[in-house]
Amino acid sequence: MPDLTLQRCASCGAELPERDARTSCPACGGLLALEHAPPAERGAALRDRFDARLRDAAAGHVADAAGAARASGVWRFRELIMPGATDADIVSQPEGNTPLFHRPSVAAWAGVDGLLLKHDGFNPTGSFKDRGMTVALTQARRAGARAVACASTGNTSAALAAYAALAGVPGLVLVPAPKGGAQQVALGKLAQTLAYGARTLLVRGDFDDCLRLVREGAERLGVYLVNSINPYRIEGQKSVALEILQQLAWNAPDWIVLPAGNLGNTSAVGAALRDAVRLGLIDRAPRIASIQAAGANPFASGYRENFATQHRVKAETVATAIKIGDPASWDRAAAVIREFDGVVTDVSDAEILEAKAAIDAAGIGCEPASAASVAGVRRLAREGVIRAGDRVAAILTGHVLKDPGVLLDYHRADHDAPLVNAPVEVDATLDALARVVDATAAAAGR
Ligand SMILES: *Cc1c(COP(=O)(O)O)cnc(C)c1O
Ligand SMILES: [Zn+2]
């Protein structure tokens, strides 16, 4: 079969064939983007095809490789992601098909009635990174890679480790080593990576050092790089936006809001909307709002200056998944913000933790970085950028159990913050239990 996908350098236009395992331009070092042969259908016919696959997936499949590929919320959109992949090529758990919640308490906290929460923490390893990793490992196998590697703030490692195990390809992850006794990677993510069996390197440096090292090493050591600079990962991550549109019966919301670190996801959401408009899946695109942590906000600073120069900062935030000072996908994310009338803002760690407490207390929960999106919605609503009547889909990127350390530190008796729920130590007596039951019921007005 001829290639249905071309890899093209976004900087100089150089072309690489579909299965070339390099992940940056050999001529100029620029990032690669994929161009696919156009699908045979568009508009209503293409929507119908995607909707039929959704019904088919809901009907259930045996979870063999082909069944997983057909049930996946990523591969449902395969014409837009990797049109040349066959069921036999695909490495899928399956992933995607995550819920779109409406929680009145969270909407009220943010001040936007129409707030929807696209919870990608419901993916197999608990974060949206699975959407990109299913495509990256599929490509690694098609390209005959001898190993795959990534630098990570944690979730990419967990996803790599799980999908590498599924694909039968050795995986290596580079994460920042503990510094001054403090873990630099959230406990749940590190535990998953070890459990799924990826070789784990604790690098004496920060995330940006890990990424530089793995980029240098991958090329020389013949290891396939699956960081978000890998264009196949971006293709898979497009599916989160496509799923939102499909869940809303292809009536686009006014906004898609998401946390922003290395900016792969901002790039991917933009690329998906570009496809959706071009192919007539929707008739108007939502606006995009990318939310950074105030202590890791180079992109928000750049936005305020119309992206005149690329900013770098020394990152510091409780939201470790977006603790990135020198984002790799800056150029393509800046293009997306311009194209979709987007905005970029930043929120403090206190705002992030307060948003997280509201999401957690609604019974769904998320990791700190994910809550940045909801904190950003509140910020933008207060500024009048998002209007109270707007339909807003905020992406929750990771599961509440990813970062138990932050949770236990929040819910301390001596911590003065909203919704603190410190554990209560009691004697093993019925009296003691009765006092707590009475007080708890009274506080709830029951
Ligand atoms: C990776 C990650 C992000 C940031 O996505 P980028 O593509 O790096 O901008 C946000 N939240 C979570 C939970 C993540 O794992
Ligand atoms: Zn180039």
Which DSSP string do the residues of 397-416 spell out, in sequence order?
Answer: -B-GGG-HHHHHHHS-TT--
- Is the pLDDT at 70 greater than 80? The verdict is yes
Report how far ligand 1's centroid is from the alpha carbon of 65 (Å).
27
Q: Does residue 3 contact residue 84 with C-beta atoms inside 8 Å?
A: yes
User: What ligand 1 atom has the least distance to the C-alpha of 228?
Assistant: 7
Q: Would the pLDDT of 412 be above 70?
A: yes
More reliable by pLDDT, 219 or 160: 160
Pairing status of strand 100-101 against strand 115-119? antiparallel
**Nearest CA to 313 among 292, 295, 334, 339?**
295
Does residue 129 have its Cβ closer than 6 Å to ligand 1? yes
- What does DSSP say about strands 115-119 and 392-396: parallel, antiparallel, or unpaired? parallel
Task: Give the residue, out of 128, 227, 292, 395, with the most ligand 1 atoms within 8 A of its beta carbon, to mutate for a pocket test.
Answer: 128
Q: In angstroms, rounded to a whole number, what is the distance separating the alpha carbons of residues 135 and 133?
A: 5
Ranges of beta strands (E only) in 252-297 are 255-259, 287-293
155-167 and 187-196 are packed helices; what angle lies between their axes, rounded to 10 degrees? 10
Spell 354-382 as b/e; 16+ CB within 10 A means b. bbbbbbbbbebbbbbbbbbbbbbbbbbbe
Q: What is the pLDDT of residues 156-194, one digit of tens each?
A: 999 999 999 999 999 999 998 998 888 888 899 999 999
What is the domain partition of the chain in residue ranges? 1-37, 100-126+233-407, 411-443
Q: What is the mean pLDDT of residues 296-309?
A: 97
Residue 1 has a pLDDT of: 65
Nearest-angstrom CA–CA distance, 443 and 437 = 10
State which CATH number among 2.40.160.40, 3.30.450.20, 3.40.50.1100, 3.40.50.300 fits the domain covering 100-126+233-407: 3.40.50.1100
Mean pLDDT along residues 393-413: 96
**Does the Cβ of 142 fall within 6 Å of ligand 1?**
no
Is 336 a pocket residue for ligand 1 (Cβ < 6 Å)?
A: no
